[in-house]
Amino acid sequence: MNTIEYAKTVLNELEHTLLSIDTKNAEQFVELVDQANEIFCAGAGRSGFQVKGFAMRLMHMGKKSYVVGETCTPNIKEDGILVICSGSGETKSLVNHAQKAKEVGAKLALITINPESTIGKMADVVIEISAPSPKSAKEGQIKSIQPMGSLFEQSEGLFMDIAIMMLMEKNHMDSDTMFGRHANME
């Protein structure tokens, strides 16, 4: 295949995953994030990279957002929400974070392939992404030409960007307003 053929196939895969996300769950996700006093974001590997981008965009909106594990991340409280990105929903460190969030009474949102996972069962809202991953219980049921969990990781990133757009609309914000909070020490 050439680059155009690969691009068309990847775009078709992304269209499938993004259009299969439950709209009510997406709206609930946006509402929980919007209502939270502080938003804590966690993920491992490439999912961790994606959720860091979400935390950054929340900061651009003026929200108190943090990445779990960073030195300057405070403790989560009952008026916070923990957003976890995990294809399997079983990553041990993320399960521990989810348990701690629930112990203090915080909300928990999971973006995953596996809504029946350990974290999924604890979550207040689950965003299911229908993508294959070597660590998923659905391995082999969903096909992708992309390696490993690439389709999931791309889809979760795009879903979080869509959630940001929904938050922007809800809070009457635009890119110009948000750009005022963009880093100026690059």
Q: Is 49 part of a structural domain of the chain?
A: yes
Q: What's this model's pTM, rounded to 2 decimal places?
A: 0.92
Whether 186 sits among the annotated catalytic residues: the reply is: no
DSSP class per residue in the chain: --HHHHHHHHHHHHHHHHHTS-HHHHHHHHHHHHH-SEEEEEE-HHHHHHHHHHHHHHHHTT--EEETTSTT-----TTEEEEEE-SSS--HHHHHHHHHHHHTT-EEEEEES-TTSHHHHH-SEEEE-----TTSTTBTTB--SSSTTHHHHHHHHHHHHHHHHHHHHHTT--HHHHHTTS-S--
Q: Is 180 part of a structural domain of the chain?
A: no
Q: Is 151 part of a structural domain of the chain?
A: yes
Catalytic residue, candidates 153, 156, 169, 186: 153
Q: Which residues pair with 84 in a beta bridge?
A: 42, 110
Given this model, what pLDDT does residue 143 score? 81
Given this model, what pLDDT does residue 17 score? 94
What are the pLDDT digits (tens) for 6-42? 999 999 999 999 999 999 999 999 999 999 999 999 9
Q: Is 184 part of a structural domain of the chain?
A: no
Given this model, what pLDDT does residue 67 score? 98
Q: Is 182 part of a structural domain of the chain?
A: no
Given this model, what pLDDT does residue 186 score? 72
Q: Is 178 part of a structural domain of the chain?
A: no
Q: Is 179 part of a structural domain of the chain?
A: no
Confidence of residue 178 (pLDDT cuts 50, 70, 90): confident
Q: Is 120 part of a structural domain of the chain?
A: yes
What are the pLDDT digits (tens) for 72-102? 999 999 999 999 999 999 999 999 999 999 9
Domain that holds residue 142: 3-173
CATH number of the domain residue 112 falls in = 3.40.50.10490
Q: Stretch 162-176: mean pLDDT, rounded?
A: 93
What are the pLDDT digits (tens) for 130-164? 987 666 545 556 688 888 889 999 999 999 999 99
**Total number of domains constituting the chain:** 1
Given this model, what pLDDT does residue 86 score? 96
